Each structure stands twice: as structure tokens, then as C-alpha cells.
Structure 1
């Protein structure tokens, strides 16, 4: 894997001390685009190794996907020998990324100051729940709690009648993407100036920004012109519409969409109601608009509405289960899934959403077993066989039994 010659990030080396989802999602994308990502785990390993479903101990499906393309190194960083080994590896790294709270990383002696002392060109990324500059700095953070604190769960409650979490781990993934672009911007700055730097990505601040991008609404102004809620997005009637035999998603939004809908729905009288005349007017009574559309759509089948909406150029789609993605004709046509023969048998990895004409990414190996590449990574970092054996004997380095 060293010197991987594909992707926009070929030649970039990453020391990845993250676990669970936020950080590993960021570094998965780095690996998919050619970076050499060394996943540094404790002797116990990333907790997602144990999540079902799994075909082998320590290689759960989520872990196997999130950590694809990475190399495995297991160190007990509470031991001074392991810390010293990691600092030696950091000398030739481009990125150091961790997901520990500031007091925990300080106890290990692996702060930005510690890493920059051996490599001032390093891009050092802190990714965790709350900025260390605020009063929540030492608080625990998980996707559910961050959805709650950021207002997202309450916004869902406006639609569903009680606060609710998204059915996907949106706070972790949005924060992981934020960490990704932060790292890439810091690497761009280094390419231009030669300067490394420290960056911080906090889940709470990330999700506050994410939620308020649209929901800041009237609270943007001082004094406020209304509450920080985008009413259309949070309407309890904004949901897939029931049809006579199922469900359909339709966005009857612009004035053009509205006029076309009145034609296909056979509701010309609505065009005379001044409350519905323009998008601005309809936004003021959005709940009634959604309710009336819902009462109309239940009169025909899903197929009938999809056909009518297609002819009228109204955005509409079927309501798929996630299983439908596995056989979606569009995803099949663009080669979205990558099938691979692995030690666990055939696996099918979800693909990369970005396409590059000159530097395409690539899904390489699946996630490593705990510490699987430790001997090779250290040897490439200049460690002798005797030094590696001594690290293992001390308990600082964990290697697979056969190594």
C-alpha cells in the first residue's frame, strides 16, 4: 500500500486515531482517494468492530465498510514506548487526526504541540463533541445527544408530534464531512505556504451550523422577524403523500409546479384563491397547502401520479426502502457498488459519490484485522526487527498471533 499511485491524495500519509463513525467516515474518504491511512487503535480495538452483523469476530459490517482501504496498527498509547513509536511515525506523516477530548489527548502527550515538535508541517485535526474553548468542552457527545442539543430532534417533533431522531446517524456523518473539508483546506494551505496547522471540528457547532443554515430564517435579523424555523421544512404535513395503493414523494413548490398540479389534479378553483396565488402566499399557509395536496393524492395510485407528475414536470419520486438501493438501475448503471472477494467472502461496498476525470478514487482492501499491518508499518517507518519485537514484548504493540 505505501506509495499508492491513484487518486487526488496519492502520497498523503494519515495517522488516524479516530473511532466509531465521525472520524472514520472522514478518513474512509481520504483512503478512497489515495491517501495512506494508518488506523491506530488501542489493544481493545474500535468499538464498532463488535457491532452486528459480522462474519468474523472483530470485523462487523459497519467497521468493515468505514475502515476500508486503511492499514491497521494497534498500540497501547498509555505506555511510553508506544507514544515514542507513534511520534517517530508522525515525523513522516501529513495528517494526524484524533477523536479524544482535549484532556485525554493531553494525558497521552499527543497534543498539537507534541506532534508539531517533531513535524511542524503536520495538519493536526481534533474531532470531537464540543469545542475545547467552551463550557461544554468536557461533556460526552453522541449522535443522539447532538441531534437533541442542536434543535434537530425538536424540529423533527414539529413534523411527527414528538421529538425524534433521524433514522441515520446524521450528526456523525455531517461532522465527518466537515472534518474532511477542514483537513483538505489545511493541506491546500500547506501546499501553498509550507505551513502546518491545528484544526478543530466539533459536532455540536457543526450541527448548529447545519440546522441553522435554513432554519435561522427570521432570527437572522436583529431584532428578529420571526422564530428560527423554516416553516415549510418543519411542517407536520411535509411528508410523503399517501396514494390509493402506497406512497409518493412530490414537491409542488414553485408557481410553475403549482399551476401544473392544478391542471393534473383537476382543481382549477384553487387557482382563484388568493391565499395560494404565489409561492410567497402559499408559504404563509403551508400546512393547508400540504393538507389539500394530501387529500387529492390519495384518490389515485402511485403509478398514476408518478406518470402524471412526469408529464407535468413536477418533481416526484417513489418512496423506496433502503433495500431498493441495492438493485437500483441508476446506481447499477454508474457502477456505484464495488463487489470484492475478501477473507469474509464476497462483500459489496457502497461507492464514492464524487467522480474525477483525471484522479479517480478506488476502493482497495477491506478494513484490517486489529493490528494487522503493525509490523510492516513500523518497518517502513525505520524500525528494526529487534525494535518491533521489543515493542511487542513490552505490550506497547499488539500484533495478530501469526505475526
Structure 2
């Protein structure tokens, strides 16, 4: 991990993917993340496969470089320990509904009294101003409610989920950015702040930035949906032996593409050289790409178009991604070893700082076992070994 956020202490009450993704990004940058879990642990720990009951591979990939503290926040003593941590921390993040946070002693009002400089960031399913503010939400719910599943409908117009945890990860990026903004506010003013990052509102903002389209104007000048994204001809194109993605974008790209294809009349046509007309005729232009793509193999196209600096790519399977030459050159995946699980493949942080990779700066730590850091964290707070045994005996910690 890097050291950009060294000295920043973040209390992480999040679970599953959204919050853990956000806090892992911050951990990779050097923040100290104390992940507080119930005595049963984050449910994502159980997602298989995995070599340890509490350390499934999905959990591993969202929780590296963190410490784990188990606390029963339904008990008064558990809340007291949380509050002791808050006094010495910079940030708290959670993805609970407001009433749940209040029941666990983790509302903004309660914690602001303890630490007025606290940056408090939370990500409920729905924003506090709407009628569904207290409704439960997970990734699939938000994909559906935000319009993403309809946007991704198949040829039979049946709505489809994106095959990744899209809403959680997009909103996780928003949450990490909110934390960064809160930290800057605190440094400038000496005051804490409460920032809400609701899932639905974040995803709608993400999707409609381009898809509000013609209804951006009042009265409307067109329909919803960004035409270039909506055309059925925007797709990987069949070649003689597979598929390729070809994306001429600028006027230079388009004219070069049609020239190398021997279609000089297309290269000079108004609908190609004029950006406005090109936007209005994008379906026909993509259709022409599909037509000519069939004339060569994928490798022939990649060579021809790359030589002309025209954006293009072969279509990787997930297995292909692990063998991608560029990703291998950039050390995107590296093998590690841990005594609890043996060897494992790690996806590195995508960041580079001054030309250095995260795991080259300071070695990344495997995601923690459940309650792995209970003793160290509690001792640092001033609790004795006897206190810690009492907590364990009373099921405050594991």
C-alpha cells in the first residue's frame, strides 16, 4: 500500500461490497481502516470459494489492508468501545439505514458530540429526502430501480442485470470521493461534516449524465437515451475468425478508418466529417463497420487499425484478461502467500505513485480474519487483558 493517507484513521462499519470497496481504495492509499463487524462477521466472508470459513475469496478481494474488530453494538459496552474509538478517529463510514445506525449508537448526532471533527459518511439505499428513505437495498435492487437493467435489456426487451456488482462499486467510488472531500473540509476548517451518499441517487446521477439526452432541455428536444449507446449496431463486430471492437471517435479516426478500408467516398462524406451529422447518423456508420469487419481476421484488423492509431481491441474472455500482455507488463496480478490460506493471486491497486506500485511501496496485507485485531485495538484504547477477557465472556467481542 501507499503512504498518501498515512495517519488517517477510518472506522468502517460497512458490509458486503459498496463500503468495503470504498474503504479498500482508501486503505490502498495508506489510511488505517478498522473494520468493525458483528460477532457473526460480514456476510460476504461466507461467499465461496475459500480455504477458510471466514475468508472467502470475494471477501479477500474487497478487504485487504484492513484490521478487523468484532463488536456487538446492540450491547451498551459494545457501543462504548465504538465511542472510545471515535474519539481517536478521523472518519466513520457505514451503509446502514438511519434507524439502524441510531439503534447501534452510530448516528451522526451521537458521534458528533463525542468528536466534533469527525467526518461522517454513509451510504443508504435511498436518500433521506425521499419516501423510501428507510427501505432496504442491495446491488440488484438499485440496478433495477435506477434503470440500469432496462438499459441493458436483451434482444427480447427483457431487463438484464450487469454481470458485475455494478451499483455497489459505482457508489463505492462516490463514497470514497465523499470521504476525501470531507477530509479536505476538516483540514481547512477544523470542523467535521456529515455526508450522505445514497445508492439510488448516485446511480441515477451516473446513468442519466448522458442518457437524459433530449429531455435535458425544457421543452424536450428529443427522447431519453444517448443515441450512440442505444444503437443496436454499437457492439463487438464479427470478423472472419472472432470479434473486434472498433471505435473511431474523432473526425480523424473516422476518415482514416474508411480510407484504410478503401471506402474513400465514405471518408469524405458529410455524415463522416461533420461531427453533428455524424452523431445523427451513428447507427448507419456503426452498421458499415459491422459490414466491413467481416472481411478480415481479428488480428489483421488489430494490426491495420493500430498502425493508424485508430482505437480498437480484441474481445477478451475473463481467462484472456489474466493472460493479457499489457496487464502482465503492468504487474496487475501478482502471486502472494499467507500462512492461513497458502498461495493466492492478488489484483493490485490500479494506482501508481511516483512510478511505484502499491505492493512495492509497502507490502499489502491479506484481508483480516474475523476479529483478528481485537486484542491490539482494545489495548491501544487502554483496556486491560482482564477487560478484554470480560468482553469476550460477555459476548461483546469474539
Rounded Cα–Cα distance in structure 2 between residues aligned with 1:210 and 1:160: 25
1:389 corresponding residue in structure 2: 389
Rounded Cα–Cα distance in structure 2 between residues aligned with 1:196 and 1:351: 32
Rounded Cα–Cα distance in structure 1 between residues aligned with 2:292 and 2:327: 32
Displacement of 1:231 in angstroms is: 0.6
2:350 corresponding residue in structure 1: 353
Pair 1:59 & 2:55 matched: yes
Rounded Cα–Cα distance in structure 1 between residues aligned with 2:14 and 2:297: 48
For the 8 Å contact 1:156–1:234, the answer to whether it is kept is: no
Cα distance change, pair 159–309 in 1 and its aligned pair in 2 (3 A)? farther
Cα distance change, pair 359–324 in 1 and its aligned pair in 2 (3 A)? closer
Alignment match of 2:95 (pick from 86, 92, 99): 99
Rounded Cα–Cα distance in structure 1 between residues aligned with 2:289 and 2:328: 33
The unaligned stretches of length 5 or more in structure 1 are 399-403
Q: For this pair of structures, how many residues does the alignment match?
A: 394
- Secondary structure class of the residue paired with 1:157: coil
Pair 1:39 & 2:31 matched: no
Output one character per residue of 1:206-264: Cα deviation in whole Å (capped at 9) or x when no partner: 11110111122222211111123111012111111110100001102322222212222
For the 8 Å contact 2:255–2:272, the answer to whether it is kept is: no
Output one character per residue of 1:85-111: Cα deviation in whole Å (capped at 9) or x when no partner: 111111101111111101111122220
The unaligned stretches of length 5 or more in structure 2 are none
Displacement of 1:266 in angstroms is: 2.2
Displacement of 1:284 in angstroms is: 1.6
- Secondary structure class of the residue paired with 2:21: helix
- Secondary structure class of the residue paired with 1:397: coil
Displacement of 1:39 in angstroms is: 0.8
Displacement of 1:81 in angstroms is: 1.1
What are the equivalent positions in structure 2 for 1:99-178 lying under 5 Å apart? 99-157=95-153, 161-178=157-174
Rounded Cα–Cα distance in structure 1 between residues aligned with 2:295 and 2:329: 34
Output one character per residue of 1:44-75: Cα deviation in whole Å (capped at 9) or x when no partner: 11111111111121211010121111111111
Cα distance change, pair 272–180 in 1 and its aligned pair in 2 (3 A)? closer
For the 8 Å contact 1:8–1:359, the answer to whether it is kept is: no
Rounded Cα–Cα distance in structure 1 between residues aligned with 2:209 and 2:156: 22
Pair 1:344 & 2:321 matched: no
For the 8 Å contact 1:159–1:237, the answer to whether it is kept is: no
Rounded Cα–Cα distance in structure 1 between residues aligned with 2:364 and 2:265: 59
Rounded Cα–Cα distance in structure 1 between residues aligned with 2:354 and 2:128: 40
2:368 corresponding residue in structure 1: 368
Rounded Cα–Cα distance in structure 2 between residues aligned with 1:186 and 1:272: 52
Rounded Cα–Cα distance in structure 2 between residues aligned with 1:117 and 1:71: 25
1:69 corresponding residue in structure 2: 65
Alignment match of 2:226 (pick from 219, 224, 230): 230
Rounded Cα–Cα distance in structure 1 between residues aligned with 2:247 and 2:172: 29
TM-score by length of 1: 0.93
Displacement of 1:271 in angstroms is: 4.5
For the 8 Å contact 1:159–1:236, the answer to whether it is kept is: no
Pair 1:221 & 2:220 matched: no
2:6 corresponding residue in structure 1: 10
CA RMSD, Structure 1 to Structure 2 (Å): 1.9
- Secondary structure class of the residue paired with 1:308: helix
Rounded Cα–Cα distance in structure 2 between residues aligned with 1:59 and 1:234: 41
Deviates more, 1:322-331 or 1:36-45: 322-331
Rounded Cα–Cα distance in structure 1 between residues aligned with 2:208 and 2:155: 17
Output one character per residue of 1:159-213: Cα deviation in whole Å (capped at 9) or x when no partner: 7743222122111111001000100111111111111111111111111110111
- Secondary structure class of the residue paired with 2:10: strand
